[in-house]
Amino acid sequence: MDCGNCKQLNRRMTKEYNQTGLSDGRNKIDEAPEDLSALLLEFKDYAIIRIDPAGYIRSWNLGAEDIYGYTHPEIIDQHISVFYGAKDSGKAANVNFSLQTALAAGRYEHEEWQYNKEEKPFFANIIITALYNADGTLKGFAKVTRDITREKTLEEENKILHEQLEEKVRQRTRELEIVNKELEAFSYSVSHDLRTPLRAISGYSMMLKEDYGSKLDGECNRIMDAILSNTKMMGQLIDDLLTFSKMARLETIYKSIEMNRLVQSCQEDLTNQPSRHVITIAALPACSGDASMLRQVWFNLLDNAIKYSSKNEKPQIEIGAKDDPGFHVYYVKDNGAGFDMKYASKLFGVFQRLHRQDEFEGTGLGLALVKRIISKHGGEIWADASPNKGATFYFSVPKNKQ
Amino acid sequence: MKNHFNEVEILLVEDNLSDAELITRALRKVNLANHLVHVKDGEEALDFIFATGPFTGREKENIPKVILLDIKMPKVDGIEVLRQIKANSETKRIPVVIMTSSKEEQDIIRSYELGVNSFVVKPVEFNDFAKAVSELGLYWVLINQPPA
């Protein structure tokens, strides 16, 4: 082991010891060169090689023997281009480049394929540092090499796995896009093709009623009315179903929403004729959400409250809000028909109803749609009710959603 | 060519005969069906408008006051008919009202891009439908002032 090198390292270490205040006695520091040279000599994972200014190997450690496969006598005085092997002699020219760079910049780091004595390639991380004598003349170079074939292989395997995964994602996305397109085409055709014959049924029934109503007896007219109200119901069902399926595809556009204004506009739409309902609306905190979606939420909840309390002599609806950690919670409370809480789990299901059609009309999609919108916003919806004592519907919207 | 094709006020392009009957009935109730011609698909519509095929010899300069156009039709659809009408300097000023069953966003956007004058979604309910048809018939035939 060359001790000029060791002295340099020793100087640096002494400096560091002193800087970090770990120096508790000169003896320890004086022992360092011996420790260090043994350490460097036997350090197995790194090849540490000293090269003279012309590129010839002057000394090396046991790690170098392990990595390159040459014995100490075999390698001393060899030129470092020997590490490129016969197969890769072209690269030997690069050796000069690496030494020149180390000379110019003080340090040169590089990763490349090198060869051991058996001409077996391994992927090497190489650091070359220029070494100087006390008088400032070039002493040579220190070359530290580490075999990183394993890391390189892992990295490449990872890369391949990653690419395979990406390809799989792309393929799935393509498949999903196709399915989505089909679904859209289906919705389109539902909306167009189902509405057309329905309009014909409703239209011809109406013609019959208009042109021959006076000639038909009461029972005939009752049947005619039943046909008409059912076509109306089916039209509503198709529209609701389309709104529901469209909601899944719509992107949520977050804006700051004045909830009171939304509620007000829903109330105006729902109670344009003089209404018996007394509706009180408290001050509601603004929230971040999609205006048209949240309007649909208020519209459906208010519409339900009005509908289910319409049989009460003094229908009352209360709209308010309360504060929860991280969420704004809003509620719509009515004094209407309510429902038994044992059916609460069915409330928000598609086509689920807790009242018969002859009690209260509905398609069973309103609350399912509300739930879907609230879920999209990252909130929750729940209800509290008892039969004939009214119902309260709560929904929450996260406060910090952007 | 038959003379009455030259006095057309409303050209109805509709492949569904039931819808056509409902529309005609609603227009008749407000006395707007006397000068109505019904063609049953997009191809026939183009032949009528450009006086080709079975309508060769029709006086092209007698343009209808309004075209009521369905979108979903076999062979040539309503969007294509609209495109050809609006792309031709002789016909581009004819008001075109799209009447369709679906409020598909893309159809609405595409129609307005092509220069449609109005886009109406046919209500399922007969009364609403009849009202919509008669109102738009009255507007385009009696109230709207076309360029001279």
Which CATH number characterizes residue A89's domain? 3.30.450.20
| pLDDT mean over B89-97 | 91
ipTM of the complex: 0.75
Residue in B with minimal Cα distance to A210 = B127
Which amino acid is it at A265? S
Asked if the Cβ–Cβ distance from B103 to A191 is below 8 Å, we say: yes
Nearest to A381 by CA among A392, A288, A247: A392
- Kindly state whether residues A266 and A379 are assigned to the same domain: yes
- Kindly state whether residues A372 and A347 are assigned to the same domain: yes
Instruction: Give residue A9's pLDDT.
Output: 45
Write the residue in A193, A199, A235 that is nearest to B19 by C-beta.
A199
Task: Give the integer Cα–Cα distance in Å for B15 and A168.
Answer: 45
Q: Report how many Cβ contacts below 8 Å link chain A to chain B.
A: 60
Tokens of A332: 């719509």
Instruction: Give residue A17's pLDDT.
Output: 40
Question: Which 3-state string (H, E, C) describes A257-302?
Answer: ECHHHHHHHHHHHHCCCCCCCEEEECCCCCEEECHHHHHHHHHHHH
Nearest to A329 by CA among A390, A381, A271: A381
Asked if the Cβ–Cβ distance from A206 to B127 is below 8 Å, we say: yes
- Kindly state whether residues A47 and A142 are assigned to the same domain: yes
- Kindly state whether residues A232 and A264 are assigned to the same domain: no
Residue in A with minimal Cα distance to B72 = A192
- Kindly state whether residues A242 and A259 are assigned to the same domain: no
Which amino acid is it at A39? L
- Kindly state whether residues A309 and A328 are assigned to the same domain: yes
The mean of the pLDDT values for chain B is 86
| Closest Cα in chain B, distance from residue A245 (Å) | 13
Write the residue in A188, A193, A231 that is nearest to B124 by C-beta.
A231
| Cβ-based contacts of B129 with chain A (< 8 Å) | 199, 203
Let me know if residue A267 belongs to a domain.
yes
Interface of A with B in 206-245 (CB under 8 A): 206-207, 228, 231-232, 234-235, 238
Q: Which residue has the tokens 């009242």?
A: A355
Asked if the Cβ–Cβ distance from B101 to A207 is below 8 Å, we say: no
DSSP structure class, residue B141:
I
Write the residue in A196, A202, A234 that is nearest to B126 by C-beta.
A202
Residue in B with minimal Cα distance to A206 = B126
Let me know if residue A2 belongs to a domain.
no
Give the residue from A124, A147, A170 where a domain finishes: A147
Interface of A with B in 341-380 (CB under 8 A): none
For residue A328, what are the domain limits?
255-398
Backbone angles phi, psi at A252, to 5 degrees: -80, 120
Let me know if residue A38 belongs to a domain.
no
Let me know if residue A25 belongs to a domain.
no
Domains, in order of start, for chain B: 3-143 (3.40.50.2300)
DSSP string, A6-62: HHHHHHHHHHHHHHHT----HHHHHHHHHHHHHHHHH-SSEEEEEE-TTSBEEEE-H
pTM (global) more than 0.90: no
Instruction: Give residue A87's pLDDT.
Output: 65
Give the residue from A104, A128, A147 where a domain finishes: A147
Task: Give the integer Cα–Cα distance in Å for A381 and A372.
Answer: 10
pLDDT tens string A2-26: 444 444 444 444 444 444 444 443 3
CATH of residue A315's domain is 3.30.565.10
Burial of A246 (0-12, 13-18, 19+ CB in 10 A): middle
Stated as kind and residue range, the H or E segment containing B82 is helix B78-87
Interface of A with B in 260-289 (CB under 8 A): none
Tokens of B128: 């609403």
Task: Give the integer Cα–Cα distance in Å for A316 and A334.
Answer: 6
- Kindly state whether residues A262 and A363 are assigned to the same domain: yes
Task: Give the integer Cα–Cα distance in Å for A320 and A32.
Answer: 76
How far from B82 is each of A188, B89, B120, B142, CA to CA, in Å? 20, 13, 14, 22
Query: DSSP strand E in A61-180: where?
Result: 107-115, 121-132, 138-147
Q: Structural domain tally of chain A?
A: 3
How far from A155 is each of A77, A166, A186, A319, B97, CA to CA, in Å? 36, 16, 46, 59, 63
User: For residue B139, what pLDDT band results from cuts at 50, 70 and 90?
Assistant: confident
Which amino acid is it at A112? E
Give the residue from A249, A278, A300 where a domain finishes: A249
- Kindly state whether residues A270 and A386 are assigned to the same domain: yes
- Kindly state whether residues A289 and A377 are assigned to the same domain: yes
Q: For chain A, list residues with pLDDT below 70.
A: 1-34, 85-93, 272-274, 401-402
Helix/strand/coil for B73: coil
Nearest to A52 by CA among A143, A144, A140: A140
Let me know if residue A170 belongs to a domain.
no
- Kindly state whether residues A356 and A282 are assigned to the same domain: yes
Instruction: Give residue A402's pLDDT.
Output: 58
| Cβ-based contacts of A206 with chain B (< 8 Å) | 126-127
Let me know if residue A234 belongs to a domain.
yes
- Kindly state whether residues A270 and A320 are assigned to the same domain: yes
Phi/psi-derived region of residue B57, left when phi > 0, alpha when psi is between -120 and 50, beta in every other case = left
Task: Give the integer Cα–Cα distance in Å for A88 and A86.
Answer: 5
| Closest Cα in chain B, distance from residue A282 (Å) | 36
Are B48 and B69 in contact, with CB atoms under 8 Å apart? Answer: no
Q: Is the dihedral of CA A334, A338, A340, A345 positive or negative?
A: negative
Task: Give the integer Cα–Cα distance in Å for B131 and B141.
Answer: 15
Residue in A with minimal Cα distance to B103 = A191
- Kindly state whether residues A104 and A185 are assigned to the same domain: no
Let me know if residue A21 belongs to a domain.
no
Let me know if residue A168 belongs to a domain.
no
Residue in B with minimal Cα distance to A238 = B124
| Cβ-based contacts of A235 with chain B (< 8 Å) | 123-125
